[in-house]
Structure 1
Amino acid sequence: MKAWLQAARPPAQANIAVPLLFGQALAYAQAGAFSWKRFALVHVYGLFVHLFIVFANDAADWRADLGNKTYNVFSGGSRVVPEGKLTPRQLANGAMLMALGIGAIGAVAGFIERLPFAVVLAALPLGILWAYSFPPFRLSYRGNGEVLQALGVGVVLPLTAFYYQAGTFAPLHLASIVPTALLGYAGNVTTALPDTPADRKARKRTLAVVLGERPARITAIGVTAAALLLGFMALPGKAPWIAAVAALAPAVALGLAVPLVPHANASARNACLRFVVLVAGAGSLAQLGWTAAAFIAP
């Protein structure tokens, strides 16, 4: 059981839960819809998605993880395969079980809650993860894995949460998810930084491998800053000052990351970890700020 808990990587749930919260806040702000029952359904869905992703990625990347010496709590997989606690086959079986859970939630939402697109929305994370980590696409190795994470975390998750609460996509201002898509892209670039030496050996074409670690850090900060500047798009109908207030805490975190840009290489593990925490934290704080504003701001 301890091995499976380690494989589950509980801190990674924030990458799923926060976009789902934001999507439900959009449904409340733009459609006046909120149900605690559907809130629970959304986050059970999110739990299955999270576990599917971490188990499947560990099963797909175990060879690269064996040679990863610069991992941290946010990167490098769960380490259960390198440490001999679970096998890739066990993780693949666990991922398939979680995929069934995602499908079951989609079926419950579709047939009991009368949300006909829920089954399609349940299939999307499976397809995106397959294209990200497995043949024939395997874009995390071939390049543009960042775009897939932007699509999955920044678009599909908020859309799914919005639909579960509102029961329709009609009231949604699509521009509202532009900032979250940017944060999804930046999040992938950021959390891949500690893995750069191992990714280079594994011939992964991450942004840090292709452009270099420092340009990747600059990109992560720049894209996150762009999302903060476009935060007003996440809050249509709200006064502009509300988005500005929501951006204060993440802007501070991002500002603290700037001095680390010159030297936070993967080999400087503590500096790299601080950079990842600050930039990824800025993205999460931004989404939580927009969520709070969508729920409570006039």
Structure 2
Amino acid sequence: MWVATARKPVQKRTEPSRGGKSGRPGGQPPRAVVRTATVGDWIGGARLRTLPLAVSPVALGTASAYLLSAPGWHWVRALLALAVAVCLQIGVNYANDYSDGVRGTDRYRVGPSRLTGSGAAKPRTVLIVAVVFFGLGALGGLALVVLTGYYWLIAVGAVCIVAAYFYTGGKRPYGYYGLGEVFVFVFFGLVATLGTTFTQVGSVNIESWLGGVAAGFFACAVLMVNNLRDLEQDRLAKKHTLAVLVGNRGARILFTVFVLIPYLILIFFSIFYAKAPLVYFTLLGAIPVIVITLTGKTPPEFVLALKITSLTALVFGLGLAAAIAF
């Protein structure tokens, strides 16, 4: 998905020409030299600020599993589910960097530069890194399958990886047709939460379903504010995100709805779990981010909103997980 971490823009310089047999006065013409990606650039390409979207559903799914069978709670399976979620999140970030770069979409970006689009890294290298993280996620998923004995989950994992790549990859990426929010809601909300619960106890409950919905809408909010920042540039690049389709005002309203729905779901948990109302303290992050998004006009404002939304999603998920389990 997704959201690039701020990195220094590509620095270009020209080397003076040296004497040679170029047939031109003064030798060969100056050549543009592109800065090679550093370790920091690669870490930035992983977009670490999006990782809370992988952690939160696993926490909620684990808490729901603990509720179903506390004596039989499998912490190893919980860690494997977390590894799968994190690896797939990083993998889709690099795959998005690669696909948007080779497609030329990033020519219109006003936000932080990307590895592929900036020329700091070769497209093939970025793709290989994406595949490596997809592979690591697949290995973690395979370990879960072996431990649980539910071999049909291999098909679920394969669908997750395919969906992650074709979000912006392939000839007709569905992320270019307003379906990005559907992807993150299903896979980084429902599938991540329900899958975590199921692989630990072999069943799911209402807590897992509702937790998955809450996590999914937070993920949608993060994607929406990211695309709101790039709305005009995506329109020029003919990348028809949901933000582009509904327009500036509609995107801001949808973002607000996405952020508030988890707090409506929290009403259910507050009825049955004494500590759940404490999670409403995360509104201290949610309300300001709504105000910033509704009134923001510059890319830095939307980047700030993205950071706060991601952090709020993490604290919400961890807090609610603790309220369910303890």
TM-score bracket relative to the smaller structure: 0.7 to 0.9
Higher Rg of the two aligned structures: 2
TM-score w.r.t. the length of structure 1 is 0.84
Match of 2:13 in 1: none
| 1:39 is aligned to 2:94 | no
1:116-173, CA deviations, whole angstroms, 9 ceiling, x for partnerless residues?
344233223213213422235412111121111111111111122112322x125465
The residue type paired with residue 261 of structure 2 is A
The residue type paired with residue 316 of structure 2 is A
Mapped partners of 2:294, 2:50: distance in 1: 27
Mapped partners of 2:300, 2:42: distance in 1: 27
Structure 1 residues 112 and 176: CA distance shift in structure 2, 3 A: closer
Contact 1:247 1:289 in 2 (8 A): no
48-57 vs 8-17, which moves further: 8-17
Match of 2:17 in 1: none
| 1:145 is aligned to 2:180 | yes
The residue type paired with residue 65 of structure 2 is A
Mapped partners of 1:169, 1:86: distance in 2: 44
Mapped partners of 1:201, 1:30: distance in 2: 50
Mapped partners of 1:36, 1:217: distance in 2: 39
Match of 1:90 in 2: 125
Match of 2:50 in 1: 12
Mapped partners of 1:274, 1:106: distance in 2: 33
| 1:282 is aligned to 2:304 | no
Deviation at 1:179, TM superposition (A): 2.2
Contact 1:176 1:236 in 2 (8 A): no
Contact 1:27 1:34 in 2 (8 A): yes
Deviation at 1:189, TM superposition (A): 1.0
The residue type paired with residue 257 of structure 1 is V
Deviation at 1:261, TM superposition (A): 4.3
After TM superposition, the runs of 4+ consecutive aligned structure 1 residues lying more than 6 A away are none
Residue correspondences, number:
284
The residue type paired with residue 290 of structure 1 is L
1:263 to 258, 279, 295: 295
Contact 2:53 2:313 in 1 (8 A): no
Deviation at 1:263, TM superposition (A): 3.2
The residue type paired with residue 20 of structure 1 is V
Contact 1:140 1:206 in 2 (8 A): yes
1-10 vs 34-43, which moves further: 1-10
1:58-99, CA deviations, whole angstroms, 9 ceiling, x for partnerless residues?
111112223212x15xxxxx6112332212221222222222
Match of 2:303 in 1: 273
Contact 2:115 2:126 in 1 (8 A): no
Mapped partners of 2:248, 2:43: distance in 1: 31
Match of 1:244 in 2: 277
Deviation at 1:237, TM superposition (A): 7.6
Match of 1:61 in 2: 100
Match of 1:212 in 2: 247
The residue type paired with residue 108 of structure 2 is G
Deviation at 1:262, TM superposition (A): 4.6
1:24 to 58, 62, 73: 62
Provide the aligned C-alpha RMSD in A. 2.5
